[in-house]
Structure 1
Amino acid sequence: YILQKKLCFTEPLRIAINKAYYSALWVIGTLMGARPNVYSDLKISGCLDLEDKTIVSEEHKGRDNRWNLFNDRWIAIPIMIDAIKVVELIGRKVFQNTYVFANTFTLMPDETNTPMGNLTHIVEKSFSVLMGVSSKDINSKLNGYVFRHSLAHQMYRADVGLPVISYQLKHIVSATEALARKGKVSQTTLGYGGIANQLISVEGKSVDFRHEAELEAVKANFDPNGKYMGGKADEHISKIKKFFNGCMEAGYSEEEIYEAMVKQGLAIINVGSGYCFGGVEDFDETLPCIGGLRCNPVRCHNAVVTKANAPRWREIYLSNIKLVGAEGYEDRQDQIAEAIEESKRVLNYLGEELI
């Protein structure tokens, strides 16, 4: 009875420790975007190079690595460094693990720790714990590539460019002639999982990162049931509803309309921070509009913004906060203060938190 009582008392602590550990693994996995075998071989001791701020691992993609000639590095941003430190504290000291990606059962003193042959279980378990759902309720098939696919998608959405994506995913160009000859990147070199073709393809039939990101943008900015802010928000929603009603009366479904919008390139018109609904003959002394950050309802009554614009304005707010009083920016403090105030007003207008 006493032992049972002690176990009941420590159970919440065990759950909390496991959740912290799984959270750290998820951060490391999603921001590295490595192959499953890299995660399996990643050792707690020596994987973090604090001097260069990188995570170091032996990459075995079909290569003879007996002489350690192919050690790969991933840039470790602060949250990844913190995650590694959590794994060092919990994984090594509590669970006695040798490897970063390992189970949460403490090893016996004479037990040998070996790398995991398959990451499916730990990925499913991590997702289940972090989302608070049962493994049976997970509809998607999760495996060791989920981190890699997720990072590739998010990097495309952030428009970081193919060279950055290729470097992070550890693919290099070895067929430059094919680039010129085919007008695209070989799927077996620079294009991880065909991402090069996906980045430049417009007519591709398969669902790819570009298509998914553009479809998401269209739905965020042209949803007839969405919420929009700005002086011309009512006019914007009215035009959208009129357009959708006409198309649906012609027999098109809502999803088909969205797909047509993506095909016509409507996802890329939101190049600034909002839409311009000028188009009137009244004289406006602020014209010509230079677009960009001036396109917001705080500065211009013609602008319309949505919740989709909030992350960009939050980034502007936070990046300028860091420059207040910073060395080398003494002559720009007025502009910095103005940018902070304007981004703050836009976020408040959208009903968004500053941080």
Structure 2
Amino acid sequence: MFESYIGRRKIIRERGAQHVRTHTSQYKSNFGVLPRQLSDFLYRVQTAAQVVVLMYTGMRYSEVVGLKRGCLTYRDGFNVLKSTVVKHKSNDLPADYDEWIATDVVADAINCLEIISEATFNRFLFSGFDTVKNEEEGCALSNTGLSSRLRKYLITIDENDEWADWDLHPHSFRHTLVHLLARAEVGLPYITRHLKHAHMRLSYIPDSVTIGYGNLKYFILAKATGIKEARTEMLQNIYGENARVTGAGAAKHVERTEDFFRGIGVSGEDRDDYLARLAESGVPMVPTGFGLCGCNHADVEAVEKDPPPCYGDYRCRPDICEHAVITEDSIPSIQKRYEHACKQVEAPDQAHARKHWISVRDSLKELLDSVQS
């Protein structure tokens, strides 16, 4: 079906759209759908793939429009994206500075864009969906064109009008990615590097442009909203009066938490204010998969007296470790792991490990029930 569609686009490319009437009737007869139906599907896949690349790389408009067929390579154990454009590129920059690590979902998106480019005859991956004619050179979308496409796509997928007031543009993803990286506490040096804001003379000092994204400058000054809100939200899910947590360490965690706040005489709005101030200095728990570890590994005596099961390898099991708590925010992650375990139970190539997957499935089901109840 797709090969026939490419042939159709080739006719349009070489002879014009008026010469595909015969192909249209044959296509409908052979595949049971009109070419337009496949075209609409491919257009949505193309836009969705472009959104994924923007979402998970934070690349600027000027960088994504430099992505062409063959930009995805495998090096040193990683999929890597290479753009032909780097803002303010200096000869002092390392050779891999214009590269972005491509996670699996980004690699899939790039593969989709490359396949679709076979039908558009355009080597630029962030291009429109039109067929490039023989005598023309393919080009990328303009900044305005890409922004318009993103807004139209948002309207298309926003079935409940949740984002009706949003004005989506390429830089929106850049700010959001920085916010989430900061929430994950990966550190400013990594974020600076990822945004390609490295300052070569003082490479260990975060670039001033970097801290302008995602309200990071306010986070650094402990004055602001962006990252502080993210951390406050996390703390409310862990220490808030109405927090719902589960996991082997949940009962001990709740008891300790309530004893602490009763001891300092803080409740209601005062407790919310306390957590907001705590957010400025950092979240005193370590993320471990879909759980959070409350064990202080720096306390040698405590670790020797009561070593956590993961001590030494840190392969955390929040469902069985008494130091771990699991918050309501973890539900989507647990749900995906549960669905994966269900598939593995029935998978023929996992028959040898079926008992293990049944145990994982049942354990995750109990977690889901306890968090949602």
Shorter-chain TM band: 0.5 to 0.7
Tell me the equivalent position of 2:165.
139
Query: Is 2:71 aligned against 1:40?
Result: no
Tell me the TM-score normalized by structure 1. Answer: 0.64
1:115 is matched with which residue: 129, 140, 143? 140
Distance (whole Å) between structure 2 residues aligned to residue 96 and residue 350 of structure 1: 50
Q: How does 1:175-190 map to 2 (within 5 A)?
A: 175-176=201-202, 185-188=206-209
Post-superposition CA distance 1:276-319 (Å, at most 9, x none): 69xxxxxxxx952448667846354x86432445759988xx9x
Tell me the TM-score normalized by structure 2. Answer: 0.62
1:98 is matched with which residue: 123, 126, 130? 123
Tell me the equivalent position of 2:39.
14
Q: How does 1:304-323 map to 2 (within 5 A)?
A: 304-308=325-329, 311=333
Question: Which letter maps to 1:205?
Answer: K
Query: Is 2:241 aligned against 1:216?
Result: no
Query: Is 2:288 aligned against 1:262?
Result: no
Tell me the equivalent position of 2:320.
298
CA contact (8 A) 1:214 1:268 kept: no
2:183 is matched with which residue: 157, 162, 174? 157
Could you tell me how far 1:125 is from its partner in structure 2? Answer: 2.9
RMSD: 4.9
Could you tell me how far 1:225 is from its partner in structure 2? Answer: 3.7
CA contact (8 A) 1:314 1:347 kept: no
Q: Secondary structure at the match of 2:38?
A: helix
Q: 1:17 to 1:261 in 2, by over 3 A?
A: same
Tell me the equivalent position of 2:200.
174
Structure 2, unaligned stretches of length 5 or more? 1-20, 296-303, 341-353
Query: Is 2:365 aligned against 1:348?
Result: yes
Distance (whole Å) between structure 1 residues aligned to residue 335 and residue 186 of structure 2: 18
Tell me the equivalent position of 1:193.
212
Tell me the equivalent position of 2:343.
none
Tell me the equivalent position of 1:85.
111
Could you tell me how far 1:195 is from its partner in structure 2? Answer: 7.1
CA contact (8 A) 1:27 1:83 kept: yes
CA contact (8 A) 1:296 1:346 kept: no
Q: Secondary structure at the match of 1:123?
A: helix
Tell me the equivalent position of 1:324.
none
CA contact (8 A) 1:59 1:70 kept: no
CA contact (8 A) 1:102 1:116 kept: yes
Could you tell me how far 1:48 is from its partner in structure 2? Answer: 2.4
Could you tell me how far 1:175 is from its partner in structure 2? Answer: 4.2
Distance (whole Å) between structure 2 residues aligned to residue 147 and residue 127 of structure 1: 13
Distance (whole Å) between structure 1 residues aligned to residue 238 and residue 198 of structure 2: 36
Q: Secondary structure at the match of 1:262?
A: helix
Q: 1:192 to 1:77 in 2, by over 3 A?
A: same
Post-superposition CA distance 1:144-194 (Å, at most 9, x none): 2122223222322333333332222112233439x7xxxx63415xx3536
Distance (whole Å) between structure 1 residues aligned to residue 160 and residue 135 of structure 2: 35
Q: 1:164 to 1:346 in 2, by over 3 A?
A: farther
CA contact (8 A) 1:297 1:303 kept: yes
CA contact (8 A) 1:48 1:81 kept: yes
Distance (whole Å) between structure 1 residues aligned to residue 51 and residue 138 of structure 2: 21
Distance (whole Å) between structure 2 residues aligned to residue 313 and residue 157 of structure 1: 22
Distance (whole Å) between structure 2 residues aligned to residue 49 and residue 344 of structure 1: 36
Structure 1, unaligned stretches of length 5 or more? 278-285, 319-336
Post-superposition CA distance 1:326-345 (Å, at most 9, x none): xxxxxxxxxxx9x9898766
Distance (whole Å) between structure 2 residues aligned to residue 124 and residue 171 of structure 1: 27
Q: How does 1:225-304 map to 2 (within 5 A)?
A: 225-230=242-247, 233=251, 236=254, 239=258, 247-248=267-268, 252=269, 256=273, 258-263=275-280, 265=282, 267-269=283-285, 273-274=291-292, 287-290=305-308, 296=318, 298-300=320-322, 304=325
Distance (whole Å) between structure 1 residues aligned to residue 253 and residue 211 of structure 2: 43
Tell me the equivalent position of 1:334.
none
Report how many aligned residue pairs link the two structures.
Answer: 304
CA contact (8 A) 2:219 2:280 kept: no
Question: Which letter maps to 2:152?
Answer: K
Question: Which letter maps to 1:351?
Answer: L
Distance (whole Å) between structure 1 residues aligned to residue 219 and residue 213 of structure 2: 10
CA contact (8 A) 1:220 1:226 kept: yes
Post-superposition CA distance 1:109-168 (Å, at most 9, x none): 44443332313113223333444467x953222212122223222322333333332222
Question: Which letter maps to 1:123?
Answer: L
CA contact (8 A) 2:284 2:294 kept: no
Distance (whole Å) between structure 1 residues aligned to residue 171 and residue 101 of structure 2: 19
Q: Secondary structure at the match of 2:82?
A: strand
Tell me the equivalent position of 2:223.
205
